[in-house]
Amino acid sequence: MNEELNELIAAYEDEREELTKCLNDCLEDFDYLGAHKFQQGIAMANHQLLILNSIKDPSYPKKTELENMIRYYDRLKTLRPLISGYADEQIAKTKVRLNMVSNQKVIPFYDGQEFDDAIFDLAYGKILSFVFHLKKSSNLYLKFKCKKNNLIISITPDEQIGNEIFFPKDKKRLLKSLGFKRNKTKEYFQLKFSLTSFKDAQPVKTIVSRVIYDVFYRNELDTETTLVIQSNF
């Protein structure tokens, strides 16, 4: 998966670089309408890069935040020399935090053996279903079950999700772009994944990671999740 992720990241970085060149050309020609469109394209590429880098490294958003803080204080020193001492102090503190985050090995919570085992046990009929809690206090979860050789992944019904979780129309559109559809009663979103040639859990984990990072964002969710398994016995 890392090789595929690296290829995707490189492709989006190349696209962003090309869009930036086009943006600069538009600005030189005073084509502000064209520049606006290329700015939108750059924003979309940046968003995808954030998602992909977060899948690869769950610490990426925090590292990016700290790096941006360092750049901010560097600019502040130039703009307001009188407070350069304060800025240097903040830069030093932020660099310590960045170093700590960079040296931490963070494993995605959906990337453990327990999650893999649950997927395989479900696919081969050893368990009936399992619930993957993303934010227990807000009743946000993914439920996994099998039906007619399909793995069905469903999300908490809209009306049962806690108010702390922001779930507007744009997030629902993102779910649809991932393949989720409303169930027959329109109460919740679900996705059907064919198990006809099922061999490993990685495609399922990729879907889960997109839901986490693209739809609900990692910082809204619990740092540790709970699997609740419904056994056949």
**Tokens, residue 232:** 């056949």
Domain 113-231 has CATH 3.30.1460: yes
Parse the chain into domains and list their residue ranges: 2-103, 113-231
Buried-exposed string 8-37: b where 16+ CB fall within 10 A, e elsewhere: bbeebeebbeebeebbeebeeeeeeeebee
- The Cα 114–Cα 143 span in angstroms is 15
Query: In 136-171, which ranges are E strands?
Result: 140-147, 150-155
Distance CA 37, CA 39 (A): 5
- Burial class (CB within 10 angstroms; exposed 0-12, middle 13-18, buried 19+) of 113: exposed
- Across 225-231, average pLDDT: 69
CA-based nearest residue to 218, from 65, 34, 104, 21: 65
CA distance 138 to 116: 25
Find the helix or strand (DSSP H, E) in which 194 lies. Answer: strand 189-194
Higher-pLDDT residue of 231, 148:
148
Q: Distance between CA 188 and CA 182 in Å, rounded?
A: 6
Instruction: Give the pLDDT mean for 18-40.
Output: 95
Instruction: Give yes or no for residue 30 having a pLDDT over 90.
Output: yes
Between the alpha carbon of residue 227 and those of residues 63, 69, 77, 141, 223, the distances in Å are: 28, 36, 49, 10, 13
In what helix (H) or strand (E) does residue 165 lie, and over which residues does it extend?
none
| Maximum Cα–Cα distance across the chain | 71
Lowest mean pLDDT among 10-24, 27-41, 63-77, 207-221: 207-221
pTM over 0.75: no
For residue 159, count CB atoms less than 10 angstroms from its CB and return exposed for 0-12, middle for 13-18, buried for 19 or more. exposed
pLDDT at 213: 76
Encode pLDDT of 55-79 as tens digits.
777 778 788 989 999 999 999 999 9
Q: If pLDDT is split at 50, 70 and 90, which confidence band does 38 have?
A: very high
Contact 128, 145 (CB under 8 A): yes
Task: Give CA separation, 42 vs 11, 14, 19, 122, 172, in Å.
Answer: 13, 11, 6, 41, 23
Distance between CA atoms of residues 174 and 10, nearest Å? 23
Q: What is the pLDDT of residue 233?
A: 46
Per-residue model confidence as pLDDT tens digits over 136-147 = 888 889 999 998
The pair of structure tokens assigned to 150 is: 């399909």
